[in-house]
């Protein structure tokens, strides 16, 4: 990857919904029925009370002198919104719900020129202490 390319990443949320399984009381059928009710909003928008409580972007390798491996680099991350606006990650977390299929992020700063390898882990915590994490692929800067 060239250092002058655009830099960012996206989190895609994948959710499956099962509303209700009900045993068939009708004796004419030998199989059970699967019944579901429509969500108030499309299923991919998540539950109404799902809220991001925290997102941490953790560097796997040294990022710069102030951010060795294992450090949060949230201060160098902004989110990109559909309306072409961008905001720092901490502001986004304070007002965000998971009412989206994905979240786009931009790097405000790249790793120091002294470090050519870059990889990060995204740690996301939502309401009720659900915790998700995923590691990016390794990126080599030229």
Tell me the pLDDT of the chain (142 aa) as tens digits.
444 455 677 777 665 544 444 455 555 555 555 555 555 555 555 555 567 788 899 999 988 889 999 999 988 888 866 555 667 776 766 666 555 567 778 877 777 777 678 888 988 887 777 888 889 888 776 6
Q: How many domains is the chain built from?
A: 1
The pLDDT of residue 68: 93
CA distance linking residue 44 with residue 85, whole number of Å: 23
CA distance linking residue 6 with residue 78, whole number of Å: 13
Residue 135 inside a domain? The answer is yes
Domain holding 88, by residue range, is 8-15+47-140
The pLDDT of residue 3: 42
Residue 42 inside a domain? The answer is no
CA distance linking residue 121 with residue 11, whole number of Å: 12
Residue 26 inside a domain? The answer is no
Residue 36 inside a domain? The answer is no
Annotate 18-63 with DSSP letters as a single string: --EEE----TT-SS-EEE----SS-GGG--TT-BEEEEEEEESS--
pTM of the complete model: 0.63
Residue 99 inside a domain? The answer is yes
């Amino acid at each position: 990857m060239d250092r002058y390319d655009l830099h960012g990443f996206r989190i895609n949320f994948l959710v499956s919904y099962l509303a209700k399984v009900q045993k068939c009381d009708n004796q004419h059928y030998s199989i059970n029925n699967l019944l579901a009710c429509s969500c108030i909003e499309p299923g991919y928008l998540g539950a109404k009370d799902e809220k991001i409580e925290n997102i941490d972007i953790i560097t796997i390798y040294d990022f710069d002198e102030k951010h060795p491996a294992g450090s949060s680099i949230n201060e160098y991350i902004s989110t990109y919104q559909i309306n072409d606006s961008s905001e720092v990650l901490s502001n986004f977390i304070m007002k965000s719900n998971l009412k989206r299929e994905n979240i786009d992020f931009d790097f405000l700063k790249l790793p120091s020129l002294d470090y050519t390898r870059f990889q990060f882990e995204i740690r996301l915590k939502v309401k009720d202490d659900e915790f998700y994490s995923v590691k990016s692929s390794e990126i080599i800067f030229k």
